[in-house]
Amino acid sequence: MSREVKEKKKSPGNAAVRWLGRTAFFLLWTLILTVGVLFGVIWVMEKGPSPTLTATFCRSMRETSAIRWIPNIFLSDEEIDALKSTDTQDVQTQAVNTSLIHIAQGDGPAEEQEEAEEVPALEVIDIADGTIKGKLLIVRDPSRVILGTSDNLGHQAGLQLTDLVAKYDGVAGINAGGFNDENGLGNGGIPQGLVITGGQLVWGSAGNTYNVIGFDSDNILHVGRMSGQEAMDLGIRDAVSFVTHDGLASSLIINGEVQTQNLASGVNPRTAIGQREDGAVLLLVLDGRSINTLGATMENVCDVMLKYGAVNAGNLDGGSSTVMVYQGEIINNCASVTGPRNIPTGFVVLQEDGSNG
């Protein structure tokens, strides 16, 4: 072999080509093995020996906007339908009994007023019960909780919750109603269902029926099925509506009774709102989709709400939209990989006499 040929074989260019080839081969097989393992895990989740695990996995996936197609990889539409809970959108729930809520008016005996002053106007509680983790904000005065909306609903992108709370010079807030989010690519500008703010029906129609979560002019929280007109007749001042992808209504607790027909769910981040007998509002976010916690079920939400005294409670938009803002900062772990999402509505806690609560 000539010296010239040997030098060509040992040239840096040939070595680089061989290195690139080996690297590409390694990466290709790594990708193939990773995809194979991933599909194997999905197969076990969907076709494995545990019906409970299959149902939880499929419900969790179907509650998302971006990857709700995953159950269809190994399951037929008929098999998926069998895992769904019964469509409850037309189930007539009992009406909220407003006489169960007794909101302090601040004009009672001096001793009662002094005792009330010792209770913080706002209280943030860390929720950590097994794998369930999140934040609960107790707002003692329900009149401070309003529904904030993004600008020009339906015609431009929504706002991140920090901006939405700041728009109303608020102290705190949580995300509220659902919005159009095809394949997880929605811009948060188009609400789903009904939106009432300041006593005005600004989205939805009087004749249609919705799953409503909101406050009346007496600052009492209502949850349940009603038309836009019925909501207006009840004097609802601020409200949204929400229904899960599988048709679960938003009512979780009504008059102290858990609405069991609405609890079949997967494990995901959750947002909910409730009210105690003394009128205090419970704003709840439960984290998920992280190494610290996968998320919570609707039953978990009810358990937390009941533990802290909720008489009525409703489920709000969850998943990657779940977020709580307090004092200008996000205080829970937002599940969105791209950061807090734009949303059309949020329940905002207003300042108290110009203070920060």
Mean of pLDDT values over 185-193: 92
Cβ contacts of residue 242 below 8 Å, gap of 6+? 176, 177, 178, 192, 193, 211, 213, 250, 314, 315, 316, 317
Tell the burial category of 299 from Cβ atoms under 10 Å away from its Cβ (0-12, 13-18, 19+). middle
Strands 324-326 and 221-227: unpaired
Q: Quick one: pLDDT at residue 354?
A: 47
Angstrom distance (rounded) from CA 349 to CA 295:
25
> Domains of the chain: which residue ranges?
3-83, 98-350
How confident is the model at residue 45, as a pLDDT?
74
pLDDT at 5 over 90: no
Mean pLDDT of 229-252: 90
Least confident of 23-32, 140-149, 253-262: 23-32
Confidence class for position 104, pLDDT limits 50, 70, 90: confident
Residue 203: closest CA among 264, 150, 144: 150
Q: Work out the pLDDT band at 357, boundaries 50, 70, 90.
A: very low
Instruction: Name the average pLDDT for the chain.
Output: 87
From 90, 79, 281, 83, select the one nearest 171 (Cα to Cα).
281
- pLDDT score, position 105: 75
Asked if residue 273 lies in contact with residue 305, where contact means CB atoms within 8 angstroms, the answer is: no
Res 62: pLDDT: 77
Structure tokens at 174: 């949580």
Q: What confidence tens digit (pLDDT) does each residue in 281-324 have?
A: 999 999 999 999 999 999 999 999 999 999 999 999 999 999 99
Tokens matching residue 14:
């040939």
Q: What is the rounded distance in angstroms from the CA atom of residue 18 to the CA atom of residue 283? A: 60
